[in-house]
Structures are given as C-alpha cells and as structure tokens.
Structure 1
Amino acid sequence: MNILRDELKKTKSGYEITIYLADNQTEFAEELGNGGNSGAKASIADYVKKKYPNLKVTVAKVVLGGVVLGTIPLAGGAASAAAAGPTDLDKASGYAKSAIERLVTQGVITGDQTGAFNPTGTMTRDALTTVLVKALVGQTDLVNPETPTFKDVPKTHWAYQYIETAVAKGWIKGTSGDTFSPTGTLTREQLATILVRTLGLTDDNIKGASSALTFADKDAISSFAQDSVAFAVANGLMTGADNNQFNGKGSATREQVAVVVDRFVTNKDKLQEAADAVKNASFTATAGDPNTITIAFKTAVDTLAAEDVAVKTADGTALKVTGVTLSEDKKTATVKTDTMTAGTAYTVTVSKEAVKGSATVTAPAALEYSAKPVGVKKIQVNFGTAVADTAAVKIGVKNPTGTTLTVSDVEYSADKTSATVTVASNLVAGTYTVTAGGVQSTDLSTTFTAEAEKVAKIEFASDKAVIGRVTTANDPNFGNADPLSITTQFKITNQYGEDITKAKQSQLTISAGKGTYTLPSTGTLKLTSTTAYEEGDTVTVTTLDSDTNTFASAVLTVSAPAKVSEITIDQLYNEDNDTLDVGDTAGDFSLVLTAKDQYGMNITDPSFFAKDTVVSVSNTSVVNVDGGASTPNVTYDESLDKLVLGLVEPTTNNNKMTAGTSKVTIVSKTTGKLASFDVVVKEDVMVDTISLSAPTVAAAGSSISVPFSAIDQDGKEMTSVDELTAGVSSITLSDGKSLGNGISFKKDLATGKVNINVEAIANTGTYTMTVITGTNKVSTLKLVVTDAKVPTTISTVTDLTKTFAIDAEGEFDFDNITILDQYDSEITPTWGSGANEYRLTVTPSNGYLTYEDGSGGALTELTDGGVFVANTKGTTTVDLVLQQNVSGVWTNVADYSFKTKVVEKDDIKSYELTDISTLLNDGATGYTSDHDRTVVVNGLLSDGSKVTVPTTENYYTITTSNPTDLTVTDGVLTASYDGADFDDNGNLTETVFVTVNDSKGTVLEKTVTVSNNAVKYTKLELVDGTYGNKENENQVSIGLAALKGLDNTDTTTVAAADLKILAADVVKATDQYGVEIKTDNYSVVASGFDGATSLTDLGTGDSFYLTAVAGGQKIVFQVTISGA
C-alpha cells in the first residue's frame, strides 16, 4: 500500500482520517471497491494504529484520484486514550484550548490528582519532560534503568521513565552532575533549547542563527539559548510576546507549553526536515551589519571569490557581492554586499564545489549612529547598540576643515550604548565628522553641526550686594565696613550650561544705578561710589553680552559686610597630582578652600580670611601652613578659581618634612563652624612594578613614546612625572640612553597620560629597554625601531570647489592638501629643490583648466598663491604627484587625481548669496582691513552642485542699502559709520543686494550686521610658527638655541623675553569677529618643568608648561626642547 498523505479531522467521538493513495494503487482500490477485502481494511487499520498510537480514530476514508473508494469504521485502537480529561480546560486561554484538547485526546496530557490541568500555572521540568516523551516516544520505547541518573529522581518518582528516556536521547540535561531539579520552573528560552535538542541539533549546528532575531529584548536572552530561540521562531515553533518582546527569562506556563508541543507534534516532519537541512549544511551564515555577511564553514576552503557567492531575496532579486575576504584559518569568509534591507531574509548560496550549499540570513537594521555636541569640548556619541568591547572601539573626530582632533577622553555610559567624547580643543562653528571603528565590521560615520561657544545666560547669585570692608592692612579699621563699596556675584554659562564666567566676564557691558564697577575676581562685581551705600538701599545693575544680546539685570539690596561664615577644605592640591611624601617640596602643595559668607555666596577675596577665622595645625614637625597658624597666608588661585592655603616645610628637622599626619583646622569666628583636613606626609613613594607596552609607532629619527603602567608599594597607580622619575632606580636602552640622558617621563597634555619618552634613535633595529624599579624589580621591552617617517600618501584635497564657470578662478595651495607618512599620520614634507627635499607637481590633463600664479603665469608645482583658472567648457583631470629629489633626480613618491569641470554661463540654473558675518566698523577700536567681508556668490547647476563664478559684472553686481557708509570694492564690504548711527548694543543692520546678470533679472539679498564694538580677545590657540612647531593642540617644540636666541639681547639663556616672543610666534589670538589679532603683548609664566628644574638648565628632551595671557584669555601649553 503506497500512501501519499493523510488528513485528520476532529469529530465528536474522536477523529476521522482521510487517506490519499498513490495513483499506482489501482489493485488495492479494486479490493476496496468490490465490497471491501478484509486484508485491505486490515492494512488501513494497521497504518492508523502505527502512525497515531495514542489517537482515537473512529473512521477512515480512502481516496484515489479524487474519488472516495470507501469508508472503513475502525474499532478499538486508541479509543481508551480519550479517557476523562482535565476538569478545568474552561480556564485555558482561547488560543490554547484546541491544542490542549488534542494532547488530552492523545493521552499526552492528563489531569492531576484533583483532575485539574491548571493551564496558567508554571510548567515544571518533570512535567515538560513527561509531555514531550509521551508525545514523541511509544510506551514500549521508554527506558527504565536500574540505577537512577539523578539523586533527586529516584525510581519511585512518577516521571522516572520519562525523565530517563529524555536524558538518554539527549533532549534534556540535569541542572548539575547528579541533580535534575524536577520541580524547578521552566523558562521560555529553556523550552526553546530543549525542543531544538529533540530534533538532534547541536550548538554547533545552529551557531550564529541568533543574528536573525529582531526582538527588542533579544540581548536579554541568555547567550546559550539565543541560537535555539532563533531556530524555534524561524520554524514557527514559538512566537514573541507583546510589544516585540520574546521574554526569554519569563516562566513558561502549562498552556504555553501545550501549544508549543502541539505545534511540534503536528509539524514534526517539516521541523525534522528543517533540522536535517541545518545539520547537513556545509556552512552557516550571519548578517553582522547591512553590508556584511559572515560565512562560517565546517571545513577550511582554499579560496573563495565574489563570483562564488550569491545573495538573493525570496523573489530572486540578486544583491551585488562587492568583495570576499577569507580568514587566516580559511574557515570564515567575510562577504561585503550592497546595502541589505533591514528585516528582509536573504538566501546566501555558495557555488564552490567543496562547500556548496545555502543558508538564510535576515538583514539587521542599520545602527542609528549619531553624535551631538553636549559641551564646548564634549560630544555625545550614540552607537545605536550596546558596544561589546569598548577597548576595540576607535573614535575619530574631524573638524570642519578636515583636521583630525585629539580625543583626550572617552567615557561610556553604563549600558555602553553611548559615550561622551572629550576633544582637546573647543568646538567651532561648522560640520564635524565622527567615526567609530570596532562597533561593527564596518566603520560607522556621522556628522553634526556645532556652533561656536556663546554666552547663553547671565545670572546673579543673589539679590544682595554686600558692603565692602577696609583692605589696607596697616589701617586700624582693617576689616571693618567700607560703605563706599559693595560687591555681588554672578555667573555666565554657555549654550551647554557650562560655566564660562572666567573667559567671558571681561566682554560684558555693565552699568549700575550707583557707582563704577570693577571685576576683581571671577564672578565678582564690585561697585565703588564717592557717597556711602546704606544698608537697605537698592541698586539696579544691568549686564549685557553684546555678541549674543544676552541680558540680565538685578535690583540688589545693600546688606551688611560679608564675613567668612562657613568653610570646607576640598582637597590637597598638586599640579601634577602627586601624593605628598617626605622628598617633595611642601610649597608644591596647597589646601583648596571653599569659603561662604552669611548670604551663602562664595568668598574669593582672601584679604579678610585670617581676620574672620582661626587656624590651627596639630603637628608642625610634620608640615606647616604658609604664614603659620597665627597669620595664615591664604591666596586666590586664578586657575582653580578657589582660595588656597599653601604648605611649607617645618622649621625643625633641618626644614624637612617627616612622615606622619598633621591636622589643619579652620574655624569661623562668626559662626563657630569648622573644617578639618588630615595632611598625610608619606615616606618616599617608589615604583614597585612597571609594565611596559610596545609603542604604536617607533620610527627612526623621531622621539618615541612608550606606554606603561606603574604601581607603587601601596598598590596604587603612579601618574606623576616627578614621582615616577624619583621612584625608579634606572631606565636604560641598549643604544646607551638612560633616564635623564635621552630618556624621560613625559606627560601628554592632550591626553593627560604619562609615557616614557625616548629621544630620536638614528638607526632601525631592535633595542632593549630595561627598567629597574625603586624596589629593585626588573621589567624589559624589546623596542623595534622601524624606518624613519617619510611622506608616502597624498590623502585628501579639501576646501576646493571643483566646478568652475569659464574665467573663474579658485585658489589651490599647500592648505588644500593633506599628506600622510607610512604610519598614516599627517606629515609636512620639507619643501624645496635641495637634496632629499620634496615638491608636488600639478598637471591638468588639458587646457580647459590651467594652474597659474595669479598673474597669468603657468605653474607646474604646488605653490602658495597658486590658482586654477577656468578657460574652456569641459572636464579636466588634475594629477598631483609628490616627488623627492633623490641624487638630483625627481623621483615619484605618491600621486592623487581629481576631476574638475568647467561650465558655461548658460549651464548655471540659479545663484546663491552666502551668509555674511558681522562686519566691524572701520572706526571701532581694533579695526583692521581683515575685518572687512568678502561677498561670495555661487552658481548652482540643475543638480544643486555649486559653481565658482567670476567676480565680474558679466555675472553679477553688488550694491548696498547704504552705499555711502557701506561700500563695495572688488567684492569686499567696508563699513564707515559715525558712532551715533549704532543702537544701544553697538550694532546696526544693512542689506546687501546682488543683481545677477541673467535673463530673469534675479536679485539676491542678505542682511548684514555692522558692529561698532571694540575688538576683544575670545580665543587663543596653537599654530605652527616661524620658530616653534605645533605638535598637537596642546604642545609645541623648539630647539634650545632657537629659544635662547628669540630675544637678541641675550642668546646664552632662556629669559622671559624669549618666552614672550615664543608665545607671539606659536599662539594665534582671535577676536569675536573671527579675525586674528596680531599681538606680541603676552604675559607669560613657565612652570611644571620636566627633566629640568628651571629655565636655566633646559636640555634636549626637557619640557615645561608655558601659560600665556592676552586680552583676558589664557592658554597653557607644553614646550618641548627638540634639540640643541
């Protein structure tokens, strides 16, 4: 008897089966048709009994060729399986009732002792095992071992045979070696795992299947179950819960298990077919991101090319495979494709004979990667997923000009889905690009637009202005009320809520109802009058930031003089974060104080601190305070914006500190409130262990930074340059260098990390660095020095419009190119024609576009002042070749090509007038011609791309709404207004008109702001100078002889005059109009010497920090001595 298929139908008394015979069963059909041969009927009954041993089937219909040949009543069989079922099926959910009824009919589910099934109750491990085995294993195939496998499932356990059978088949495991936990609850993810095992699948068979999961809580599913859940869901065994959740760790209810087991039994053949396909597959595939598929082969494959792999959707649409890369062991292939559609299933087919097969992947959604500024130096990066390995993530930031910024810190959120990135320099207006490598197989990239830092809010600390106090130290009234002055406090914040009072207070316009103002310290406003202020009087104060029109005012009530009312000692401060030990200089340490008056306002004037407080020091033989307890010398530290009380050595023990603790206590005379701080002086700190790491780049001819981690004898990490230098016995290099002689500890100001700095090694090779710690432990590192850094690649061409109208010109010089060395770092070649110097040739492919010197002369090399000139309509390829003069022969090093296009005027469909920045009136203080503004007009093609057009009347004419005071010369605006023309904020507005010479009579217009406000310093930044070289945003280098010779009056020493010239050389000052302020009027202070103790003993490799102040702005940068 050859049966094609059968169908079951539920009836009141059981089931009716319809059996479909194959077309070649005519003889069997005749037997049934001739009154029903008893042998034929027996065959039918035997078939039903074997296939459905636990099912009550009462009638069989036999069909051949669409004709019912006969109906055969079936007696006995499994009729007894329909014994009385559970009594509480009415409590089951609607979706589960039919499944439960079928399993009851089959005898798979029965009631408990009370006759209840308890549909919504939790399924236990022994109950699930019993249901599975009853559904899938015949009674005669149960095992019944003499010795139990688990100590908690004895032979007397009601489910003993079922549990032993499931374990023997590998469907389920114990919770430990000899424990099964039969009454333990079952989770949904555990259920999926058990069901997948019953199909004979192993973890390796379904490895990677979890990539197809799209549940919102997929990451919450245990790692051991993710692949099983994916298979169960993909094959219809299980579905998700509400809101796209799977709820893997949720308990599986008895009715849920019944539904899943019923699906399993009903579709077992299809499920087994799917499982067998997975088991027999030669590979598995997963989609890691929208452009990457990873294929894991069971055996190594010699080669695999793009043509060996096909990726198609369900309807047969092919997705382009752009590349294939084999792993080193040749068992994994990374396949790059065009972008897959999120949530779409793709069939991956490998046609290579040895690994022929197919697999299905589901394209993941593209990560919602984004970035936004959250501080003037901070960027919040959202990855769109939790980062698996933060150490593998590399975040890069490029500013609007394409320059890569130094990332000084990355702090990840607790869930690792975002990070706050701190860069070393302030964000400026423009579009930034943020990349992240290591989050997925391809780098992520996004952009954000930042605005320049601006004043967003000015607020007063209180509604009181306190009467001043007499400050003359020898005056008998010192500290008493001075009714001719009052003070109040205020704060300025930027658009990110950051306090910028210190940087911006000098640019405020301040007026008061009585008195003239000064700003004696950060956030302190002092009013002085010739007539006395009386308590209870009110004074109106207004403040205005004219750049942003941010305004604040307050009506202040004159109140009694402020006195120190409350004190806290915040910390023991040292510029290098040193811990205080007996070998240190006490003066390098100070106690940082926060003092508040009776109004709750901060006190930053130290004049009356000693008068208002009592200071005591418990053990002056350990350490004392500056001035002593009776006359403490409290000062204001501008960099900390805090009061500080310095430490000094004891007058005993030869003026040296001793190890121990000295408690400093400060008490307010007004309130009696006190603050105490234990100043602990330790024995000399020594490096106990040090771990050396290979540097990222160790190139001959350049200094080398060796990363390390050093731990002191107390198990704490050491980060102080001074303590590290004193805390090791020696550092030597096999080329003869040693600590203090070509080797030093140096702090990178940009990152804050200390590295071991090795001065340039001339020759390549392997060198051994040996470090002996202060506790005589030895650490070594093989330092492999590679080839010297040389230019190798022309990386990018930036800030160049590549489409021109005929007769238009575009500047192209050294600022437009970026060149990299062989280590992918930016490098500036030594330009020139001498031996081993470099040039860059510029060769347009035809005469449509030529490269000229600005006066019509042809150029063949890149040069400052060079311009492209558009001559004739057409496309030109510009070839750039970097060449080196090698023994008198120009030898090609690198090349780069880009295409330009020259169009005719008629090709231009429209025009745009770009925004015009605020224009400074030529009568304002600080005005230079650089403050004038160039009017920029671009053409636009039909596709929206920009065209550089000639600045001639053939294209457009520029006029203004006030041609008398706002004039235009060669496209440049100059403002010449009388001071009376401006509003109270020092501004006025005009309109600039551009009349386009086209058939439409197009007129473009822009509003421009003209300001009469004096130039103010707003930004200081490092640049490459004539004498000093910018190494990064926080560091410059200069030769010692060059530094000594900056001031010609004395070339033998480094003096303050030299430092002032250096600051003027490498520091660029910018005003509020974005224009550079040319100045040499810097106040300078040198500190933080590394490798030297002062300016007098500087040597190669030494460094110090230079603080330069101009116009109320400050910059601190590291100066490294690069050579003699």
Structure 2
Amino acid sequence: MAKQNKGRKFFATTATAALVASAIVPVASAAEFKDADSISSWAKEAVQFLTDKGFIQGDEKGNFNPAGTLTRAEAAEILSKALDLKPTGTEDFSDVNENDWFYNAVLATSPELFDGMGNGKFEPKAQLTREQAAKVIVQGYQLTGKADLSQFSDASKASKWAVSYLETAVENGVINGKGSLLAPQDKISREEFATMVKRTIDAVEDVTPAVASVKGLNAKELEVKFNTAVDAKDAAMTTKYAIEGVAVTSAVVSEDGLTVTLTTDKELKLTNGKVTVKPIKTKADAKVLTEEFIKLLTFADTTPVSVNSVEAKGTTAIITFDEPVQSEGTVSLNGTELSKDRYTLSGKTLTIKGLTAEQTYKVDIVGATDFANNIANPIAVNFTVAKADVDSSKPTVSTAVNGTEITFDFSEELMKQNLDGNATTEEYAKVTVGSTVFYLTDADTKDVSDKTVFTINAKTALGTATFINTNIKVEGQKDLAGNAGDAFEFNAILTKDTTPATLVSASTKMLVADDVNSTTDVDALYLTFDEPVKVDGNLTLKTQNGVVYTAGKVTAVKADAGFDVDGNGKIEGAEKNTVKVDIDLDSNSTYTFELAAGAVKDLSKNVTADTITFNVTTGSFETTPETVTDSLVFGTTPVVVTDNNVFTVEYAADVTATATTEANYTLGGKELPAGTQLQFVDGNKKVRFTLPEGSITANGNYVLEAKNVVDTKGNTLKNGKATTQIALKENIAPVASKVTVVDSKTFIVDFTESIADQNTPTGLTVKIAGSTVKLTSAVAAGGNLTVTTKDHYALTDNIVVDFKSTNLVDANNNKVKDGSVSK
C-alpha cells in the first residue's frame, strides 16, 4: 500500500444519498438473522435499516451477534459503504494487504477516519471504544455542534482528542450516556454502532440558505452569519447590506464563507434600526441565493476595547485589539512612554517598530478609547520577540491525469500574479498542453478547503481526436514569500470521455408532512451518477408498495447535476453528480421508477441510450427542532451584592452549568480571581459568586462579562456576551501590625490599614508577661486601637494581643483578620 504525500481530502455526503439502488444490489433483511430475537428493541430499527441498505451483514453462521464487540475492520467496512467511499489511498499500514476482506474499506477510510495505532499498523482486530466510534462517525459525516458533558460524572476520563467528538455526538443525539456515565473507553457493541450510524443518517437535513443571525460587535462592526457558505465575491459587495443611519464601507467574508463582518462609516448605535441583507449567491451554487433578511436591531457598544493577540517577530510587534480603536491613549515600552514615530495605529492593530529579536518587552496602553468613547482600563501585555521567519524553499508540484482533467497539487500555497497580461483576473500558474494554453485561477480550485490543489479540463486540447499523447508544462508559479518554482514538464495521454454516465445510487427525503390524498406534496428524489450529467426526460412510476401501474405516472425531469444534498453550503463529492427531482412521495413506501432512454447526457455529450430502472424506499418526515438563537440576557435586576466578597448574578432564563464555569467570566477585564466559587442559588437562574479575600484592591464599579453561557433550551448569549456593572469594595482584611507602648498602662495597636471607630471592641485578648490581664478600656479611634490595662506593667514586659472573631473592621467593613501581634 503506497503512502501518499498528502492525505486525500474527505468529502462527506448525506448517507442516504449514497445508497446503491436496491434493484442493483439485493440485500437480506435483518429479520433473517438467526439471532434476530436477541437484538435489543431500541436497536432493531437501526439494524433493519442498515441491513436493508447492505451496510451490515451477519457472520458465516447467519448471526448478527448484536452484543458482540465491533472491530476496526468491521467499522471501516460499514462506514465505507454508508458513506459510499472509494478505495483511493491510505496510510501504509504494515498489517494490511490486498488479500484482506477489509482491504478496500481501510483504503477508503484511512487516514481520514481511522488513524494508525502509532506503531505503523491498522490493527484490524482491535475493538472500537465509544470515544473512537464517536470520532469516526462525527468526522465521517462532518457533524457540527457541541454539548455540555458535565452531566456525565466520568466525562473527565475521556481522552483529550476525543472530547470534541463526544460533545458533538451527544449534541446530535448520536451517542447517549449510560445513566450519568459517558463510559468513553467502553467497547462499542455491534447494535450500538448500528444505532449510532442510523441516528447520524437521520440527523442530516436539508438547509434553506439564509442569514442565521445579525449582531453588532462594536461601535464600528456588525457581524452577519449565514447557515450555509456564501460566495466570497458576491458577499463582499457593500451594496448587499443596508443599516439604518450608517453606511457600510467594507464587507469582509470569512474563509469558510459563513460569516461577513461589516464596517460602518460612523458609530453603530441602533434603537430598532432596520438592517437589510439582500439575497446573496451561495458558495456551492451561484444560482442558489440566500433569502432576503430584514431585522430591527437595537445595539450600543458599552464595552471598552481589549487586546486579542500579540505577534512579535523580527523588529516589529503587532498588537491586535478586539475592535477598531479611535485613540490609543499613551503607549509605554518597558516603562518609558513612546513617541508617535515608534508606533502606528490602524483599525484594530497597533504596530510597534524598532524592537530587537529574542528580547522581552512589556507594553502598557493607558486610555485606549473605542469609537463609542468607551475608555479601557490600563492594558499591559508582555511578549518576547521571535526571530523573523525566512522562507527560501521553492514550491514543487505533483500531477495526476484523469481523462481530460489534469490536477496540480502544489507543496504550498501560491501567490496571485498577472501572468496573462490581463489585469481583470489574476493567475497562479501557466499551463501549456501541447500548444493550448491554460491558466490556474480561483475558478479552477478543485477543493476550497485545500488552496494548493487546482484542476483544469483540457478537452479543448484534443480537437477532434479521441485521445492525444502530449507534453504538459506548468510554469510561473510563486509561493507567498515570492520564491519562484521551477517549470515542470511531463508527458501524458489525454482521453476524451466516450462512455455514457450510469446511475450509481438513488435516495429520497420527505420534505413536508405526508398527505396521501394529495398529489401536491413536493419531496425530493436524489439520483447520483458516476459523473456530472444533464437530465432531460420523463421519469415513470412503475410500482408502489407492490402495486403495478400499467399506465404509469409520469414526472418530467429537466435538471443539471450538482445539488447540496447535506445542506452544508457546499456541493462536494458525490453531490457534484447528483440530480434533485421534485416529486410527490408517500412516507414509508417502496417505489420502482424508470428514467426514459436518452434522458441522461454527460458533459462530453455522451447519451445514456437505455432505460434506467431503479428502486427507492422513503422514510418519514421529521419536523425541524426548535430554533436556537442568541437571545439569553441577564435578568431585570442582574446583580445583588451581599458583602465585599459575595454577589449574585441573575439571568432572564434557566441556564445550564455553563453559568457556573469560572472560565466563562471576566471581572474588570481580567479572569476571575483564583479561588472564586460559583454555585446556583434559588433555582437555575441565579449564580452566587464568592470572591477570595484580598482579591479586590480598590473600590469602584467593575464590569462583569459573561461569555459561552447557554440556557437550558440551547440559546446562547445575545450578541455573544452579557455585561453588567458591579459596585465592589476593597476586600482586603486588615491585620494587626505593631504594638507601641504609651505608658505603664496604655499601648496602641496599629494595623495594615486604618480601622473604623469602635467604642466596644470584642474578640480581643491581652497577655502581658505570659498572663492574661484585665482591661480598663479598649477604643478604636483615629484608625488604630488604644488599650488601657487595669494594672501597671513594666517597660520590659512582653505584650501579646490576640484577635479572634473581632468586631473591629476597616472603612469597607472588612473584619480584622484573626491572629496575634506582640511587642
């Protein structure tokens, strides 16, 4: 098994869209297993479904062995079938060879889903644990989401690499706990794994492209999130957005195409201000647009600027803030204020020049002000300047030819250049096939998740020939550091496609609640071919649930292949070859259809001459779960301060354990003091914060900020965070520090800070020369304590004053700390 230079990218499709038509691959029913009665009731439906699809099968004795453990080889076999993966490359496992029954499955699922065991082996007989099963299923189906695992008392026992997969699997209902336990290292049984795969298939839903949320980030930025990736060029047009009272000056699209950050010309401050997002092309299919979005938004930036990151290399440090900064205030380097020529402020970044590599610096920024005129607390950042990176390596390229398609896989990302003399479009490299010239551009990127791979279709280079043996040359490429790659030439045979397309799978999805008395329900029939096609012809119903229709029911189909079946905003993998047919179907039914001869034509204009017959089975319509939004806020009276160390924060709705997670809060712009205790009180809306003594050093209003808190319905914090001011007082307990003798009956006790007046102190014991003495008076006044004894003492006598549960306090009502002071 040859090791590949770069791992094959994995493109997940909806599992039901990858099913082989049952007319082509007949399978047995799970009911035929000899031990079918021993399958747990909760697993029967899943085992039946996966068996009917041919994804799982019994052993040589005809048993399913539901409670038996699942091996890595068996799991690879099931997933390779469920995901319709082809054996195209894997790791070089020393214990796998072409004679193994699981060889193709391992080839298709590794290393994307199954990693080696660290010893260069696949270990096919090793049993799959719950956390390993979560990993391969979540990766395979590209699920998203995150759950709270604190409900499982043993969640901390999960391997670090497995936590996010387990969270996602729990969130999507793929894996359940065992009571209060997650049992991450328990072995997965065959019926458990079948159930997990079936739940995953059920969880995949179509998504209507739309704006998911709009929120103000700060006084100059507004964030638009989409539920599917949008076209970068279309989404970057400022004319697509309108915000009442301000103008949009720029629109920056995230790399994944799911988020657009808008910058405004002046302060973003809205009270029921109208925000409009016009229809935008989606990344996967420019013909599909998002729905127009209109929302009334109320937003004001009340949070001061803070530092997100520091990057220091060579002679420069770039400090990046979390929002655009109007004024940096004063900037000091190692205690010395810098002159304006030593730094520049631009948007969110403060760039400091003239530094020395491998030196450590401290930068203090005092008075930084954002565009809402919020003034930040003093900001201090410490960093060491790294040596500047020097890239001197040339980019190299590997190639592959398939028919007339040529793929170029470069060793690193390339720089855009004007290689063809046309300034309208920039290119990455020039390709000459025979005498025909092509250029690698963004439009040729084969995989948007890998910017180093390009594919061109060179069929024009063949002319009227069906194949040519020709020279191919790629040149002009440069990496991002400007290093020019060497020209690379090779010979290859390009072959024109003369083979008609074939149907490889058919599946359905119930898009609306079924009405058997109506013929206007519009559901989806997905036809997946072995290459991109155009379909123009009649689809005829032949049988339904065993009933033959002699006259047939005819649906006219006219569509091009390329449909986002899994709704992830991308048309990828088998989806590029998939045609969606709008048709009325009944739930839980079995159909036989015929697609007319000549209805299917591939991109090389080869026509499928024969009638295509296939079977499909429908499922049930599932309603969309309640929409989760960013609507969680603090309650009407968010904070009640009990004393200097304790305050209670109330939310407007019941919240999860995320509200008692220390890391989800900052106080005064800093992490909560070490030792802070958080606990629910009076239900699940109120959280009591108990600060450690000595953690507040000055009186004032401190901003408490909450992030990542989720309510019990899954709603997140409105605008991503919630802030409230808390009036706190210094909570450092005074400590007796010195005894000063005044005369033979009087002495004064000083403290680390002034104490409040008190005519009747309690919790006070005085020992002179080792014996407890009686006092005539003890009075706190003027910030210290004056004590008068009943009897005289000698100047040389030792005086010890003990404090225990005293009523002496400082100006902020902090009690004097228990302890002793002596002379």
Q: Same fold (TM over 0.5)?
A: no
**Radius of gyration: which is bigger?**
1
TM-score, normalised via structure 2 length = 0.33
TM-score, normalised via structure 1 length = 0.25
